[in-house]
């Protein structure tokens, strides 16, 4: 649908804006929750009481995004330039923030698929991205939802 190459997303807010654009392009509802400050972000639990900024004086910004419809997609954008994307319960941790829009488009365009193997038995959700990049994550045997089951190859 959108063929433009993704640009660098220097901030969490830039990534949220890119996710909103993807949601609009695919007519998907989106809900965004922002956590701002070292005392609010998930990776800074040791920030101390009343400490909101990093040692350099900046405010870390984290966002959690949920997309409506199927497949169920959630995105957590971290201040450290990475993201966790969950598709139908399958987690893809440590994705570069710049890859988030391309990853979402690949899933929403139907390019993602489930690869099964007989021995040892198991499934992986495979999400191919432009430029010969592919993300793969294992799916628990009992974790095949109807959406995932419909994409088994």
Q: What confidence tens digit (pLDDT) does each residue in 2-39 have?
A: 444 457 898 889 999 999 999 999 999 999 998 766 55
Average pLDDT of the residues in 96-112: 97
Q: What is the pLDDT of residue 118?
A: 83
Q: What is the pLDDT of residue 127?
A: 98
CA distance 139 to 113: 12
CA distance 50 to 37: 10
Q: What confidence tens digit (pLDDT) does each residue in 37-95 have?
A: 655 555 544 445 454 444 454 567 789 999 999 999 999 998 888 999 999 999 999 99
Q: What is the pLDDT of residue 153?
A: 86
First-to-last C-alpha distance (Å) of the chain = 23
Cβ neighbours of residue 84 closer than 8 Å, sequence gap 6 or more: 75, 76, 78, 91, 92, 93, 94, 95
The 10 Å Cβ neighbour count of residue 136 is 11
When mean pLDDT is compared across 80-84, 90-94, 97-101, 107-111, the lowest value belongs to 80-84
């Amino acid at each position: 649908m959108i063929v433009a190459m993704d640009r660098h997303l220097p901030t969490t807010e830039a990534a949220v804006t890119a996710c909103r654009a993807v949601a609009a392009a695919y007519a998907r509802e989106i809900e965004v929750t922002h956590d701002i400050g070292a005392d609010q972000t998930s990776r800074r639990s040791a920030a101390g009481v009343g400490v909101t900024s990093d040692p350099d004086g900046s405010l870390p910004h984290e966002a959690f995004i949920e997309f409506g419809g199927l497949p169920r997609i959630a995105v957590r954008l971290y201040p450290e330039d990475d993201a966790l994307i969950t598709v139908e319960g399958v987690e893809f941790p440590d994705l570069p923030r710049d890859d988030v829009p391309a990853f979402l488009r690949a899933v929403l365009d139907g390019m993602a698929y489930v690869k099964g193997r007989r021995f040892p038995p198991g499934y992986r959700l495979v999400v191919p991205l432009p430029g010969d990049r592919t993300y793969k994550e294992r799916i628990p045997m009992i974790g095949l939802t109807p959406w995932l089951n419909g994409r088994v190859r």
